[in-house]
Amino acid sequence: MRTAQNKRAKQRIFEAALALFARKGYAAVGVREIAKKAHVNISMINYYFGEKAGILKAIINECYDRYFKTIKPVGDEDLPVDEHIRKMIRTGVNFFRKNTELAIVAFDVIPLDIPEVMGLKVKWVTGIREGMENFRKKLGVDSRDVLQESLGPNVFVAVILNHFQGKYAAEQYPQFKEYVAQLNDAFYERYADALADLFLYGYMGRKKKENKEEE
């Protein structure tokens, strides 16, 4: 009985911190606020996670473990380049839809200087890059070329992150209810295809493609 209660308390701390980090950002949230939202004592946070950074480590581990397991099998598939890119982007979009808070927090802290989690971030980012190496080679991306690396398919993770950060923020305000209601399955099919078109043809190329389809 006590073990089950302990697991529930630990999960409440994790979920409370996740929601607060997603809404306010990691730096703006204190341990007391997390404890209050999770209905636990601060000592329980220390017991399960050691400190606030310990919760962030758990979030990063959970997010990247799920992301790697989701994206790597698609990266290894033997598909034509066009179809492969579309499937990879669609898979990434669906991952963010199903794991919005987790993805917002974990991906958002990548560029931040948080010494306690720096080693963990390097480990996961390096692991995902290595896991996607076959896909990158298929696209002709040379990981040793800084320019190619900067403009490679990973750039769309940032685009997707930006969209879901905006959607998540909009969900907190009733005045954006109509906007959020439009972000349904049909929208995300179009959204994923539009991102793939941008990667394959560029913005002007995508507009030309749209114009031809309308003729």
User: Tell me: the pLDDT tens digits for 38-84?
Assistant: 999 999 999 999 999 999 999 999 999 999 999 989 988 899 989 99
Please indicate, yes or no, whether residues 129 and 44 belong to a single structural domain of this protein: no
* Token reading at 83: 């179809």
Whether residue 151 has pLDDT greater than 90: no
Instruction: Identify whether residues 163 and 79 lie together within a single domain.
Output: yes
Q: Which residues are CB-neighbours of 68 under 8 A, at least 6 positions away?
A: 124, 127, 128, 131
pLDDT at 211: 59
CATH assignment of the domain containing 200: 1.10.357
75 and 4 belong to one structural domain: no
Name every residue whose Cβ is closer than 8 Å to that of residue 186 and which is 6 or more positions away in sequence. Answer: none
Q: Residues 20, 66: one domain?
A: no
Model confidence at 6, pLDDT cuts 50, 70, 90, reads low
Which residue range forms the structural domain that includes residue 72?
Answer: 58-214
Q: Give the rounded percent of residues in the chain with a pLDDT score beyond 70.
A: 90
Provide the number of structural domains found in the chain: 2
Query: Domain check: are 107 and 184 in the same one?
Result: yes
Residue 202, pLDDT score: 80
Instruction: Indicate if 70 and 109 belong to the same structural domain.
Output: yes
pLDDT in tens, 154-185: 788 899 999 999 999 999 899 999 999 999 99
The verdict on 14 and 98 lying in the same domain is no
Are residues 16 and 107 both part of a single domain?
no
Q: What gap in Å lies between CA 181 and CA 162, rounded to an integer? A: 18
User: CATH number, domain at 17?
Assistant: 1.10.10.60
C-alpha dihedral, 92 to 98 to 64 to 41, nearest 10°: 160
> Band of the pLDDT at 147, cuts 50, 70, 90?
confident
With the CA atoms of 111, 117, 118 and 119 taken in that order, what torsion angle do they form, in degrees rounded to the nearest 10? -140
Q: Give the pLDDT score at 1.
A: 45
pLDDT of residue 75: 87
Verify that 7 and 112 share a domain, yes or no.
no
Please give the radius of gyration of the chain, using alpha carbons only, rounded to the nearest integer. 20
Distance CA 64, CA 130 (A): 14
Do 78 and 122 reside in the same domain of the chain?
yes
